[in-house]
Amino acid sequence: MRYGAKILFEDVSTAFTPGRRYGLTGPNGAGKSTFMKLLSGELEPQKGTVVRPRKFGVLSQDQFAFDACRVIDTVIMGNKRLWAAMEEREVIYAKPELTDDDGMRLGELEGIVGEEDGYSAESDAALLLQGLDLPDELHERKMGELQGGQKVRVLLAQSLFGNPQALLLDEPTNHLDLDSIHWLQSFLNSYDGTLIVISHDRHFLNSVCTHVADIDYETIITYTGNYDEMVLAKTQVRSQIEAQNSQREKKIAQLNEFIARFSAGTRSSQVQSRRKEVERLQLTELAKSNIQRPYIKFEQKRPSGKHILELEGVTKSYDDVEVLRGFTSSVTRGEKIALMGRNGAGKTTLINALLANSPTTPMAELRETSGYDGEFIEGGQVIWGHEASVGYFAQDHRALVTNGMSVFEWLHQWDPGAADEEIRGLLGQMMFARDEATKRTDVLSGGETARLLFCKLMLQKPNVLVLDEPTNHLDLESINALNIALQRYQGTVLIATHDHDLIDEVATRIWNFESDRKITDFKGSYEEFQTVLV
């Protein structure tokens, strides 16, 4: 498969075996989603063939395709054969009079419904939805009435419905909270068909995958083991080939020196044998890897005071629905706090409350990203400490980047005194090629926008980082770079994320948003917090 001069796959032959769970990895732009579409039949290969099982589930990326359908029906549609039989059966039963042919056809349809477990379809679909934290009262609603995150869960249930022989899941953890991700891990680990999953969640891949199909070097290489084991094996293979090439280069240089010295002399037979040996010692050609690794380093212009933040009785409701209830806490310089909890539990609401009282977050910017024009808190107070300088990454981060500017111009405005080379250097660290500095902000992808915002945070050097779902749109290499940068950062961090590894490896404290609108303030790591929960 190629697009113009860009080759995604060249002569790829690979097989996916039942009972194995494959992670499909590779950097952004390597062709993961394209390959998934080739597997599902949504795209046809320009050359070659794809053989598929009769029944397979695909996670739909179109959140609006089923807006007119009931939630429970949307799930059952995941079994296409069953759904077609049920629809045709309804049409026949709706006729005022049935012919003999109708009766015969009804018998055939009832046979299909029975074969496909159609008589328990609604209860089976309900169990899947409950596992994904969609309560019974939503099951009869239309899809158009659901929020974006809820729709994703329904579409996930659709792909899992009907015991498909293979599952093709493209970013199934997007918009899922940590509890739902853990449920999905457990479900997939008990699935006995063929699983192929694209994910930028390292912990998820390590927990689920028995094999990794890695797209790189214009081909697909399958490794046994999870994601971390694949990275290790891939590095070792590459290093081994590089070491062999280095030894061969030395040997070839020695042989060529002999040939140059004696080619005109009497040792022609020895020269000829050495020429043949040079031909034999051809170097193993190393294709160029697509993987690019950003370099993120957060610094502080000046440290804050020791007591960076005080919250006293913070309370907030929307339309008489209580979201925050009298939350009180004190934050000390250097703490790294993970905000955890179900979607809709109030994490972003608390972040907005903190930013609304921040000395360095423009209110217009906050209203742009939140879409809210009311008061950010109704009761209590937020008090920032001495010298607090806050850097902000919004969940809807596209709203933070002004259209109609070049990437270079947009970044430079945040520090007009910075030298041009410093700006270009930061863009280079975040994988913007030199000619991409003139790229217009209007055409940036989600991943490019996120990387540009990290450039802004590195340029501003705040002593507090407030990050709301910063890993959305990032590939694995970028998430790993962010993880390391936050661990090394000397300032204070408040981060809302569903990335297990990021919470586990960065957080020194947990604010866990409970279902009763209370927030558990746990001073300790995520591992310690889990021990207390058990």
**Domain assignment present for 290:** no
Say yes or no: 445 and 348 in one domain: yes
Say yes or no: 255 and 327 in one domain: no
Q: What is the per-residue DSSP string for 145-161?
A: GS-HHHHHHHHHHHHHT
Dump pLDDT digits (tens) for 374-392.
678 888 899 999 889 999 9
Say yes or no: 215 and 175 in one domain: yes
**Domain assignment present for 293:** no
Q: Taking residues 206-231, what's their average pLDDT? A: 90
Measured between alpha carbons, how far is 416 from 422 in angstroms, rounded to an integer?
Answer: 11
Residue with the bigger pLDDT between 130 and 284: it is 130
Say yes or no: 352 and 264 in one domain: no
Measured between alpha carbons, how far is 13 from 222 in angstroms, rounded to an integer?
Answer: 11
Q: Taking residues 493-521, what's their average pLDDT? A: 92
Looking from the CA of 516 toward its CB, the CA atoms found within 13 Å total: 2
With a CB cutoff of 8 Å and minimum separation 6, the contacts of 59 are 155, 156, 158, 159, 168, 169, 170, 171, 172
Say yes or no: 196 and 63 in one domain: yes
**Domain assignment present for 101:** yes
Say yes or no: 457 and 511 in one domain: yes
Last residue of a domain, one of 196, 215, 230: 230
Q: Which domain holds residue 254?
A: 231-280
Phi, psi of 7 (to 5 degrees): -90, 125
Say yes or no: 34 and 84 in one domain: yes
Collapsing DSSP to helix, strand or coil, 10 comes out as coil
Joined together, the tokens standing for residue 378 give 């109704």
Say yes or no: 247 and 203 in one domain: no
Nearest to 351 by CA among 342, 388, 361: 361
Phi, psi of 88 (to 5 degrees): -65, -40
DSSP one-letter code for 346: S
**Domain assignment present for 33:** yes
Measured between alpha carbons, how far is 13 from 352 in angstroms, rounded to an integer?
Answer: 50
Looking from the CA of 17 toward its CB, the CA atoms found within 13 Å total: 8
Check residue 430 and give its pLDDT: 93
Measured between alpha carbons, how far is 308 from 421 in angstroms, rounded to an integer?
Answer: 33
Last residue of a domain, one of 230, 255, 270: 230
- Identify the bridge partners of residue 215 per DSSP, sorted by sequence position: 220
- Global confidence as pTM: 0.78
Measured between alpha carbons, how far is 528 from 512 in angstroms, rounded to an integer?
Answer: 13
Measured between alpha carbons, how far is 28 from 480 in angstroms, rounded to an integer?
Answer: 14
Say yes or no: 217 and 236 in one domain: no
Number of domains in the chain: 3
Q: Taking residues 515-530, what's their average pLDDT? A: 90
Say yes or no: 276 and 367 in one domain: no
Say yes or no: 238 and 215 in one domain: no
**Domain assignment present for 69:** yes
Nearest to 77 by CA among 179, 166, 160, 145: 160
CATH of the domain at 424: 3.40.50.300
Q: Taking residues 342-354, what's their average pLDDT? A: 88
The H or E element spanning position 63 is: none
Q: Taking residues 226-238, what's their average pLDDT? A: 85
Instruction: Label residue 280 by pLDDT band (50, 70, 90).
Output: confident
Burial call 238-261: b when 16+ CB within 10 Å, e when fewer? eeeeeeeeeebeeebeebeebbee
- Measured CA angle at 388 (ends 385, 394), to 5 deg: 120
Q: How far is CA 102 from the centre of its chain?
A: 49
- Identify the bridge partners of residue 307 per DSSP, sorted by sequence position: 332
Measured between alpha carbons, how far is 425 from 402 in angstroms, rounded to an integer?
Answer: 21
**Domain assignment present for 151:** yes
**Domain assignment present for 462:** yes
Say yes or no: 199 and 254 in one domain: no
Could you tell me whether strands 2-3 and 6-7 are parallel, antiparallel, or unpaired per DSSP bridges?
antiparallel
**Domain assignment present for 197:** yes
Q: Taking residues 201-227, what's their average pLDDT? A: 91
